[in-house]
Amino acid sequence: MHTSRNTSPLHRTSHLRHRPGSRRLTASGLAAVLAAGLLAGCAQDGGGSGSGTSADGKTVVSVGVFGVFGYKQAGLYDEYEKLNPGIKIKENSTERNEDYYPALLNHLTANSGLSDIQAVEVGNINEVANLHSDKFVDMAKAEGVDKSAWLPWKWDQAKAENGKVVGLGTDIGPMGVCYRKDLFKKAGLPTDRKDVAELWAGDWAKYVETGEDYMKDAPKGTAFTDAAAGLYNGSVSSYAVKNYDRDGKLIYKKSEAVEKSWDLAMQAVEGKMTGKLKQFDKAWDQAYANGTFASVICPPWMLGYIKEKSGPKGADAWDVAAPPRPANWGGSFLTVPEHAKNKDEAVKLAKWLTAPEQQAKLFEKQASFPSSSKALSLPAVADAEHEYFDDAPIGEIFSDAAKDIPTAVLGPKDQLIQENIGNIGILQVEQQGKSPEEGWNAAVKKIDDAVED
């Protein structure tokens, strides 16, 4: 899925990542966007083409990331440097993955400008694994890497068809449902998170049914959920097979996952239960501040965003409930290119950064949800609660969801398909008053044009 991380305290937006395929720009990203491609190139080259050693003779391991991964902020680089006196870590960060990823592809082709470690977003990992596997170190064969430390579905996402594992999982985005208790109460729905989860347990269709109930007695000016595309994303991600079948054939036009999820989104639009918003748009932020929608499908990384945008006014309102069905949204991997200057040290660092203890630390400091099953059982994660969401046991809720996430069949154009279904197809119906057929045909036309050689 397409996400971009930015959890820097310097940025106004914290814990925000983008919806899959949504190319919304964060406020901080906006200012830099036109120059970003250029800057990205410079930053990458600066980091990658050095000699690999610093002036004081230390080995410099460079780490290329997009947005803010939070390693620096959580003090993990400092800690590693202390543990390994001969190592110095240098991070090259590009604000947006849309700029970072094309630059990475260029650097791979040119075999220069690469960092020793390159982060890859889950929306791109399948493409990287299958089109460029020869350019990356096989992490499965790296010394001391324990496959069983990771959630199996996460581990498999970075696996190429030839069995090579190109990256180690960092974080994941198991989805929950964030909801406003004040609005639920006014609409006559239960407010306790267990009872709320009961409303839709097991089926996304029940979530839409709950929406119908909500709309019958909805507080004036509010909608049940923020956007039909958000619902589509949640639903389609809970299937193992969505856009590609297990042989890698593009089947989105007739896959059950896409069809059912599309229909649910259309049902939500027809029931007028959506806020007609585009996620990560300015209007979406404003709707949080004004409390005009009652629920949103939210991975852990979105909690900080909701807290920031809803502000103190929403402090007693929000809570988190378990999702209808477990599904993942976002997350990344650390890869080591074959042409990295300090390949061996890079593998060691990548291994250390993605080890359970470090993942747990990153969760505490930066709210990145661990992809390591061992980290999930550490008390720092398992017992975690979120104050803003009425002390919801987020460690428990999201861990439960994470364990049951299906091993999704990914394909190279997943991101593009999702973007066009959400931002063309669903948007035309939801915001521009077109019929579902028109919306679907427009999305298909665009996707066909894009995937054609």
Partner 1 sequence: MTLSRTEPATGSGKPPVRPAASGGGSRAEERRSRRYRRDARWSPYAFIAPFFLFFAAFGLFPLLYTGWASLHNVSLHDPTHMEWAGLHNFSRLWEDEFFWNALRNTATIGVLSTVPQLAMALGLAHLLNYRLRGSMFFRVVMLTPYATSVAAATLVFALLFGRDYGMINWALGLAGFDHVDWENGTLTSQIAVSSIVIWRWTGYNTLIYLAAMQAVPDDLYESAALDGASRWQQFWHVTIPSLRPTILFTVVVSTIGATQLFGEPLLFGGSQTGGGSHQYQTLGLYLYEQGWFNFHLGRASAIAWTMFLILLVIGLANWLIARRLQRSSSQ
- Give residues 184-213 in contact with partner 1 (rule: CB under 8 A): none
How is residue 382 written in tokens? 């398992």
The residue among 214 and 288 lying less far from partner 1, judged by its C-beta, is: 288
Q: Given the complex with partner 1, which of 193 and 446 has the nearer CB atom?
A: 446
Cβ proximity to partner 1: between 191 and 431 the closer is: 431
* C-alpha span between 210 and 187 (Å, rounded): 11
Examine residue 435 and tell whether it contacts partner 1 (CB under 8 A): no
Q: Should residue 50 be labelled a site residue for partner 1 when binding is judged by CB under 8 A?
A: no
Measure the CA–CA gap between 258 and 421, rounded to whole angstroms: 9
Indicate the residue among 138 and 281 with the shorter CB distance to partner 1.
Answer: 281
The interface region with partner 1, picked from 60-68, 81-89, 242-250, 418-426 by CB under 8 A, is 418-426
Span of 198-206, 281-289, 342-350, 372-380 interacting with partner 1 by CB under 8 A: 281-289
Q: How many residues sit in the footprint of partner 1 (CB under 8 A)?
A: 42
Task: Lay out the site mask for partner 1 across 93-112 (x = CB under 8 A, - = otherwise).
Answer: -----x---x--xx--x---
Amino acid at 279: Q
**Counting beta carbons within 10 angstroms of the beta carbon of residue 323, is it exposed (0 to 12), middle (13 to 18) or buried (19 or more)?**
buried
Token pair 């990295």 is found at 340
- By the rule CB under 8 A, 25 interacts with partner 1: yes
Q: Applying CB under 8 A, does 135 fall inside the site for partner 1? A: no
Q: Tell me the window of 31-39, 69-77, 240-248, 367-375 that interacts with partner 1 (CB under 8 A).
A: 31-39
SS3 at position 321: strand
Residue 424 contacts partner 1 per CB under 8 A: yes
Edge to edge, the sheet with strand 176-180 lists 223-225, 293-298, 176-180, 318-321
CB nearer to partner 1: give 57 or 433.
433
- Please select the residue that binds partner 1; options are 38, 240, 283, 315, rule is CB under 8 A: 283
The burial of 1, by beta-carbon neighbours within 10 Å (0-12 exposed, 13-18 middle, 19 or more buried), is given as buried
The interface with partner 1 within residues 296-335 (CB under 8 A) comprises none
Tokens 């006559």, residue located: 188
Cβ nearer to partner 1, comparing 315 with 450? 450
* Closest to partner 1 by CB, 19 or 88: 19
44 belongs to the binding site for partner 1 (CB under 8 A): no
Question: Should residue 432 be labelled a site residue for partner 1 when binding is judged by CB under 8 A?
Answer: yes
Give the range of 51-59, 273-281, 309-317, 355-363 binding partner 1 by CB under 8 A: 273-281
Contact status, residue 266 vs residue 436, Cβ threshold 8 Å = yes
Measured CA angle at 268 (ends 197, 184), to 5 deg:
40
Using the contact rule CB under 8 A, the part of the chain among 85-93, 248-256, 394-402, 420-428 near partner 1 is 420-428
Which of these, 9, 15, 12, 11, lies nearest to 330 by C-alpha position? 15
**CA distances, 17 to each of 24, 113, 263 (Å):** 10, 26, 26
CA–CA dist 124, 158 (Å, integer): 10
Alpha-carbon radius of gyration of the chain: 21
Q: Does 427 bind partner 1 (CB under 8 A)?
A: yes
Q: For residues 421 and 233, what is the distance between their CA atoms, to the nearest angstrom? A: 10
The answer to whether residue 442 forms part of the interface with partner 1 (CB under 8 A) is yes
The region of 25-33, 197-205, 348-356, 375-383 touching partner 1 under the rule CB under 8 A is 25-33
Cα–Cα dist 133/66, whole Å: 21
Residue (63 or 416) nearer to partner 1, CB? 416
Q: Give the integer Cα–Cα distance in Å for 26 and 96.
A: 9
**CA atoms of 287 and 8, how far apart (whole Å):** 23
For residue 106, what is the enclosing H or E element?
helix 97-110
Q: List residues binding partner 1 (CB under 8 A).
A: 22-25, 27, 30-34, 98, 102, 105-106, 109, 127, 131-132, 278, 280-283, 286-287, 290, 292, 416, 419-420, 423-424, 427-428, 431-432, 434, 442, 446, 449-450, 453
